[in-house]
Amino acid sequence: MISIEQDKADLINSKLDHAYRDLWRGNDRVFAVALLVQWGVLIVQALVISSRTWVGEESATHIHVWAALLLGGVICLPTALMGWYRRGTRTARLSMTVAHARVVALMIHFGGGRIEWHFAVFVSLAVLAIYRDPWVLVVMTVLVAGDHVARGIFGQQSIYGYVGARQWLWLEHAVWVVIEVGLLMGGIRRSAREMIQIAEREAELELVGQVGIARSVDGMIQYIKHIETTCDLTEQVDSRFDGVTVELANTMNGFIKTLRGIIEEVHGAAREASSSSMSISAGTQEMAQTAESMLQ
């Protein structure tokens, strides 16, 4: 009993590991592509909002464009490559989270701190939740809060769009982030329970199938021993189980039927041979008697 329960627990853990690994690997590929798309969005955003700047008679490419090209590339390219070639690992997953947090910070900065660009934070949190990893949301929350605190102190224009914001305004933003993260955490927990239930059902079905096969095979072995002992080919192998055991039982029953037919044919041929032998013997005796009578 203990062995069966241990086998079931091991099977459940194995199925959960495979399910999460497949989920994370698939999401890493998606986010790797998404990072490259976001890099392009950063460049377009910088070009549209502040492509060039003029100082007197001089015109030059705005620093935001160079930041989008260079800094955005430094953030997005290595992480996208890691997400593609090391997908499924926690390192790739958390690197994706850090990169998305940095990209969102750049978007808010390039957008002049306008409130509509802050919605990128909430969208990113909702999208990252598909990893079903609480640590991803924790890391994203810490990075967003740290960014708001730092820029709220040293660069209010960059984060809020104006100078002179309240000292604790970042806390108001953080509260909304925490509320969303709390809701997403609840969804992750429910999803985890569902995955565990699915793994348990699959493990139970697999174990039931294994037990059924073992019982059927054991029954076949006992039946073969019975045939060996009694030479009785009238009984058939039990085929009440489903799947592979039915095929095994039907194959065994077909073999037994064929063997029984061969034995019956041999037995019939033996009877015919015996009858023919008796007829030949009777004919021989009759001929011998006839010959003796003729000699007399």
For 31-58, the pLDDT digits (tens) are 999 999 999 988 888 888 766 555 455 6
Which CA distances in Å does 39 have to 12, 77, 224? 40, 9, 70
pLDDT for res 53: 55
Decide if 228 is inside a domain.
no
CB crowding 114-153: b at 16 or more within 10 Å, else e: eeebbebbbebbeebbbbbbeebbebbbebbbebbbebbe
One domain for residues 196 and 295: no
Residue 94 corresponds to which tokens in the numbers above?
Answer: 């958390």
pLDDT tier, 135 (very low <50, low <70, confident <90, very high otherwise)? very high
Q: What does the pLDDT average to over 191-218?
A: 72
Question: What kind and span of H or E run contains 178?
Answer: helix 169-230
Residue 95 has pLDDT above 90, yes or no: yes
Decide if 294 is inside a domain.
yes
On average, the pLDDT of the chain sits at 78
Decide if 225 is inside a domain.
no
One domain for residues 11 and 156: yes
Q: What does the pLDDT average to over 159-185?
A: 83
Residue 145 contacts by C-beta under 8 Å, 6 or more apart in sequence? 170, 174, 177
- C-alpha closest to that of 100 among 47, 38, 147, 40: 38
One domain for residues 7 and 61: yes
Question: What kind and span of H or E run contains 264?
Answer: helix 244-295
Residue 110 has pLDDT above 90, yes or no: no
Rounded Cα distance, 268 and 165, in Å: 108
Decide if 184 is inside a domain.
yes
Decide if 16 is inside a domain.
yes
Residue 267 has pLDDT above 60, yes or no: yes
Q: What does the pLDDT average to over 6-19?
A: 76
Boundary of a domain, candidates 156, 185, 204: 204
Structure-token match 């095929």, residue found: 247
pLDDT tier, 169 (very low <50, low <70, confident <90, very high otherwise)? confident
One domain for residues 165 and 239: no
Residue 179 has pLDDT above 60, yes or no: yes
One domain for residues 178 and 98: yes
One domain for residues 148 and 25: yes
pTM over 0.75: no
Rounded Cα distance, 62 and 220, in Å: 82
One domain for residues 53 and 141: yes
One domain for residues 191 and 257: no
Rounded Cα distance, 109 and 253, in Å: 77
Decide if 145 is inside a domain.
yes
**What type of residue is 254?**
G
21 is in which domain, residue-wise?
2-204
Helix then strand then coil, in percent of the chain rounded to 5, is 85, 5, 15
* CA max distance for the chain: 158
Q: Where are the alpha helices (DSSP H) in 129-168?
A: 134-154, 156-160
Per-residue pLDDT tens for 145-168?
888 888 888 877 778 877 777 777
**What type of residue is 15?**
K
Decide if 227 is inside a domain.
no
Number of domains in the chain: 2
Residue 96 has pLDDT above 90, yes or no: yes
Per-residue pLDDT tens for 216-255?
566 666 666 666 566 655 555 555 545 555 666 667 667 6
Decide if 216 is inside a domain.
no
Which CA distances in Å does 227 have to 217, 218, 224, 257? 15, 14, 5, 13
One domain for residues 174 and 279: no
Angle between helix axes 134-154 and 169-230 (nearest 10 degrees) is 170
pLDDT for res 287: 63
CB 199 within 8 A of CB 19: yes
pLDDT tier, 1 (very low <50, low <70, confident <90, very high otherwise)? very low
One domain for residues 98 and 199: yes
- C-alpha closest to that of 4 among 207, 214, 206, 209: 207
Q: Which residue has the higher pLDDT, 21 or 258?
A: 21
Rounded Cα distance, 12 and 83, in Å: 27
One domain for residues 246 and 116: no
One domain for residues 71 and 191: yes
